[in-house]
Structure formats: structure tokens, C-alpha cells
Chain A
Amino acid sequence: MIKRFLQTFSVVPMAGWLLGAFVAVLIEIYFGNLISYYLYLPKIPVLLGTLVALRDPALIPNVLAYDLAVYFIPVLAVSLLSAPLTNALAARMQKMPLWAATLIHIVAFYAILHLWAGISDYRVLVVKLTMISIILTVSLNIINGYQGEFSCSHPGFMALGAYTSSVLTLVLFSNDKVFGEALLPAALGPWCFPVILIIGGAVAAIGSLAVAIPSFRTRGDYLAIISLAFMFIIKSAIENMEIIGGPRGLSSQPNYASLPMVFIWMALCIWIIHNFTTSIYGKALNAVRDNEAAANSMTVNTRRTKMIAFMFGAFWAGVAGGLFAHVLRYVNPGTFGIQKLAEVLAMVYFGGLNSIYGSIVGAVSISVLGEALRPLELWKWIIIPLILILVMIFRPHGLISFTEIDMKRVLRPRNTAEGER
């Protein structure tokens, strides 16, 4: 029966789902308060109502009714009814260059996300942090998945990026107690922010040489320790630098990391890393992972390949760190420790190695699960590890590993025989 149910919806193209989601979000914006009032919910439930339902189990039917009324029924109905229309649209977009069609879909997706997140500040925060986890996970997948090392230094790279960009924005654009008057007018700030993020990423990339160069001679467990030591060194060094706050951390970064900013960086990151891994460099990474000696004899420059992989991964980790610091507007060295490491590793290995798609799934599911189960407090840290253990036992490579996204297949119209391919 489930199969038949899914069969009914196989004619809906991606554009149709987006249209359905758009209608659902509009319903939530205009009627959300009304519906939640009649269902005795205190306000519009954030995150599909899991927070309300877990806090007060008596409200579970109400939450389910809300989800049905606002999300499931509108999405399914609109996407199914509009399928002929959206299929025609998809067929027209199929004739455009792929980048244009993809861009249109991404912009539409962002618009929906923006409207959905705009309902509460909490949603905005969750969405921003989820997108930062996506950047982190995808970039760690370059080193741990495509290149096949077990690197533990990602929180260290993130800390480098976070602190570099925080110090730059505090020195340049804000009147701070520690760093004194702003050197440049604050109006320039949001425009220079991307440059600052890139500088933060570059510092992280240079820092990653400390791990990349030992990796010429060793790999596997010894490299894991070197990278772990690197992470502890960074954390400990920051703790001992009084000028940037020491163990207390840095606070009151300007509020530059808005939702569109984070989204654009995430989209850029996914796009560039996708291109990187499908390019000849990505193939070289896989060759080094599978057999270093053979790759070397096939004229792959293994040292250069390893260095590129580490620097590239670290660059994006640094950018993610910069965004993270400006989203929370507070960083301290304790954030970038073992806990963060376990989180990022869990996302990568849960989602799947050697797959950007898998990394996105892993990052989104672990961070949303972490937020949605928040009312369970301590039990959350039993449930999430248990899920991960089960995934590891039944799918040792992760949920979705060794697959790539093919935008053409995702966006194709679903009604024609040619689209069925």
C-alpha cells in the first residue's frame, strides 16, 4: 500500500515539491496562529512540533493534527494537483543550461526557507547552525571520505577561522573594549565580511600544513594522533592568549552572518566541493586513498594531492568557524574540543563517506535531531548514540555512501517517457 502511495507521487518533479512547500509555508504564515489557537497549542510549533509534543505528551494528537493540516496535506495535495503544470515548467527548464535551472531551484528553495524560518528566531538559529554543520561535514568528508585519512583536527581548523575572523571584524568594524575604536566605518562591514571569512579560511588552510606535512610520512592511526594533538594545541594556545580573551572567549561580534549570507556560503561550498571532487583532483584523492603506491606510480603527485586535500578541507572549516562565531556572536576555546569533534565525525560517518549528498543528509539529520530531541535532555545523548551505533552496525559505510548528486536527474520532469530514464 505504501508502495502504491509513493507511486502516486512519482509524477511530481522537484519544482512541484517546491511549490507544495511554498503553499504550506504561506498557510503557516497566514493561518498558523489561527490553527494553533483552535488546536490548543500555545503558539506555532517550531520544528514540526516535536518540542511541544515531547514536553507535554498530552498534546501529541494536537501536534499531529497541526502537522497534517499545515504541512502534509497541503504539500501532497498541491504538488499532486499541480503536477501537469510543474512538469511543463520542468520540461521548459530542462532546455535551459543546467546552471540556470539549478540556480532557479536554489533561489526558490531559499525563498521558501526564508519565509519558513522567518516565523521565529529560534528557527533562524537552528537553520543557520544546520547550514554551518553542512559546510563542516562536507569539508571533513574531503579528508576522511575522499582522501581516506582519519583526521581529528577539524575543530582546530574551525577555531582558527573563528578566531581570525572574529578578531578582524572586532578590530575593523566595531568599537570594542579590548581592541579599541573601529578602524573602518561600520557601514562597510557587511560588504567586507566575505573577505574576512576568506582570510579566516586561509589562516586555517595554512594551519592545516602542520597536519598535512606529517601525513607525507605516515597515515592511519599515527596521523589521527597528530591531528588530535594539533586540535589540542590550537585549543590550548588560544586558552593561553590573554589578548583574545583566553579561556573566557570573545564576544559581541557584529551581526553579519545573516540567513542569506550563511545560505550563500553553504551553496558555494557544496558547489565548489562537488566540482572539486568530480574533477581530476578528486579522482587523485580517491587514488591516493585506495592505493598510495599505485597512485604514485601512475604519476599522481601524492604529496601535492594530500596537501591540497588538507588545505581545501581546512579552508572550508575555517569559513564555517567564522560564520559560527558571527552567528552565535560568542566563541570560547571550550567549544572547539572533543565534543565538537565527536559531533562532526558522527555527522560524516552517519551520512556516508565519499558522498556530498550523504554528508548533507548526515549533517541535517543529526543537527535537527539534536534540536528536536532537546526536551528529552539527557536521554537525547542516549538516543542519538544508539541510532549511530545501529547505523554503523547495519550500514558500516554510512547511510548514503559513494553516490553523487546528479542535478539533471533531480530536476527532470517526471511525466514523459524520456524523463523516466
Chain B
Amino acid sequence: MEYFLQNVVNALQWGSFYAVVSIGYSMVYGVLMLFNFAHGDIFMVGTYIGFGIATLLLAMFSAILPPWVIFLLVVVITMCLASLVGVFVEYVGYRPLRGAPRASAAITGLMIGIIFETGNLIILGAQRFSFPALIESVSYNIGGVYFTNVKVLIIVASLILMAALHTFIQKTKWGMAMRAMSYDFLAVPLMGVSINVIAPLTFAIGAGLASVAGVLYGQAYPVLDPYMGIALGWKAFVAAILGGRGSIMGAALAGYLLGFIEIFVAMVFPSTFRDLIAYSIILVILTFRPRGFFGMAHSTRLRL
């Protein structure tokens, strides 16, 4: 039982990363009906930006400010810088391709991702960096279940982020514009909402979320690597599809589901079977529910 609960805690933490990153995919899909295949690498860039900011701030202010203030500063600054990366990706890779076949945008996204990875290797070299611990890790043991305050922080912070995003999308004018855009791509620009404002905004929010996920990831798994975005990015992409087109709730839930599947498969089987079983489950789910959990029946032929 303790073993089970322990794995639940681990799965919640692991699923949080998937959930937060997959929301970025899902939002872009909702607005543009395109996937941002550079998103996994935006996550990687965000993590490196967070690493840079954290090292800088720790060197400058660690004597003056309490750790949680530094943590908040790192998160906010990283989010702002990473959203610029998102806007850049939209401007370079997606804006020139409005009206082009959808696969072309997929290719530009993939290629921008490769450029990010290689650029990172060229600029920073092959050495591995280690993300500095912003919060001192304290471990607790409640009824045999072992967890640290970092784990709790990751889970709570992801939930707060998702709640904030939900409020933003449901309550604000910008959020309303985004929802409208995902409802009807053709009519809404005629109502005075420009796609060239909403699309960068969506990319920026997605990139900001991914970078916060990156900072949290760095707290849990400190070793950084230019290719870290690939595996996590593709799985988050799968989660976004599994959740249903453009459904943010669905993406988050599917992210957690994927986290649970992976952790519990590793609990029962040897861990090399993790991908095999996780993807087989996804294949079965999509064969029987081809539109994902919360997907609307909607023609994808609209913009082809």
C-alpha cells in the first residue's frame, strides 16, 4: 500500500511535467489548428534560460533575498524571456505559412527544433550543466510514503499554473478572443480579432508554461542536456492529442494519465517496457476513441 501511494506521488510529479507542456501544444492547436513541433525544444530552451537566470540571481542576491523570492523571480523572468522565444517561433516558422499545407508548418516546426538543439550545442558546448537547487530539499515521511518539499512544490505549482490559465481563458477578453478563434477560424478575424495578435499570444503563453515546467523539471532532475526536450516533447504531444483537439482540460488530464501509465508500468514490468506499453495503450485508446477524450467531432478538412 505504501509502495502504491509512493508511486502515486511520483506519478503526480511526472504527470505534472507532461500536463503543463502538453497544454502548450493544445492551445496552439486550438487557435491555429497546427501543432507547434518546436514546443519540446522550447521547453529545453526555457530550461536553459531558467538555468542561466537562476545561476545569475543566486550569485547576486543569495545573501540578501530569501530563497522563495529568488525562486519566484527566476520563474517570472524565465517566463517572460521564454515567451519571447515562443513569439519568435511563431514569427519565423508559422506566420509565413498561413494558408500553406499543414504539413509544411509541421516541417518548419521540426526544423526550428533541430536548430535550437544544435544552436545550444554550438553555443554552450557538449558539457553537461547542473541546475542549481533554488529551494533546499527537505524530505518528509508520512505513513511510510516518502516525499520532498520539491515534489510538493512541483505538483502544487503546476496546479496553480493550470488554474491561472483556466481563469485567463475563461474570464479575460484575450481569453475570450482565443476561444472564439478556436471556435471559428474564418469568421472571427472578420469581427476585428486579428490572428496575427492572437497566434503570437498563444505561442507566448505556451512557451511561458513550458519554461516554468522546465524550471520545475530542473529542480527535480538537475542534469541539463540539449536533447532533453525531444522525449518529453513528443510524449506531451501525444498527451495533447489524447486529450482531444484544443481542449486544455483534456490535455492536462491526458498528461497526468500518461504520467500514471508510465510510472505504474515501470512498477509492474521492467522499465524497458515503459514506452512499449504506454504507446500500446494510447494506440488502443485512439482506435476506439479517435477524437480523444474531449474532442469535438469536427472536420479536420477545413483548412487543408
A37 CB within 8 Å of chain B: no
A236 CB within 8 Å of chain B: yes
- Are B103 and A144 within 8 A (Cβ)? yes
B245's contact among A219, A221, A235, A385, by CB below 8 Å, is which? A221
A236 and B230 CA atoms in complex are apart in Å by 16
Contacts of B92 in A (CB 8 A): 389
Within 8 A of A (CB), among B264-297: 272-273, 275-276, 279-280, 282-283, 286-287, 290-292
Contacts of B66 in A (CB 8 A): none
Contacts of A247 in B (CB 8 A): 272
Q: In the complex, how many angstroms separate the beta carbon of A251 from the nearest chain B beta carbon?
A: 20
Q: In the complex, how many angstroms separate the beta carbon of A231 from the nearest chain B beta carbon?
A: 9
Within 8 A of A (CB), among B232-252: 234, 237-238, 241-242, 245
Q: In the complex, how many angstroms separate the beta carbon of B205 from the nearest chain A beta carbon?
A: 21
Within 8 A of B (CB), among A339-359: 342, 345-346, 349, 353
Q: Which residue of B lies closest to A235 (CB)?
A: B275
B272's contact among A233, A239, A349, by CB below 8 Å, is which? A239
Contacts of A397 in B (CB 8 A): 101, 104
Contact pattern, B 77-118, Cβ under 8 Å of A = 1, otherwise 0: 000000000000000110011001111111110111011011
A392's contact among B29, B97, B230, B300, by CB below 8 Å, is which? B97
Task: Classify the secondary structure of A's interface with B.
Answer: helix
- Are B241 and A225 within 8 A (Cβ)? yes
A122 CB within 8 Å of chain B: no
Contacts of A9 in B (CB 8 A): none
A236's contact among B106, B115, B275, B290, by CB below 8 Å, is which? B275
Please give the residue numbers on chain B whose beta carbons come within 8 Å of chain A beta carbons, in ascending order.
29, 35, 92-93, 96-97, 100-108, 110-112, 114-115, 117-119, 121-122, 230, 234, 237-238, 241-242, 245, 272-273, 275-276, 279-280, 282-283, 286-287, 290-292, 300-301, 304
Contacts of A236 in B (CB 8 A): 272-273, 275-276, 279
Given A222-B291, A396-B97: A229 touches B238 (CB 8 Å cut-off): yes
Given A236-B279, A338-B234, A382-B119: A229 touches B286 (CB 8 Å cut-off): yes
- Are A226 and B276 within 8 A (Cβ)? no
- Are A233 and B35 within 8 A (Cβ)? no
Q: In the complex, how many angstroms separate the beta carbon of A228 from the nearest chain B beta carbon?
A: 7
A386 CB within 8 Å of chain B: yes
Q: Which residue of A lies closest to B118 (CB)?
A: A381
- Are A218 and B286 within 8 A (Cβ)? yes
Contacts of A218 in B (CB 8 A): 286, 290-291
A389's contact among B29, B102, B103, B108, by CB below 8 Å, is which? B108
- Are B112 and A389 within 8 A (Cβ)? yes
Q: Which residue of A lies closest to B290 (CB)?
A: A218
Q: Which of B106, B110, B279, B304 has the most CB of A within 10 A?
A: B279
Within 8 A of B (CB), among A206-235: 210, 213-214, 217-222, 225-226, 228-230, 232-233, 235
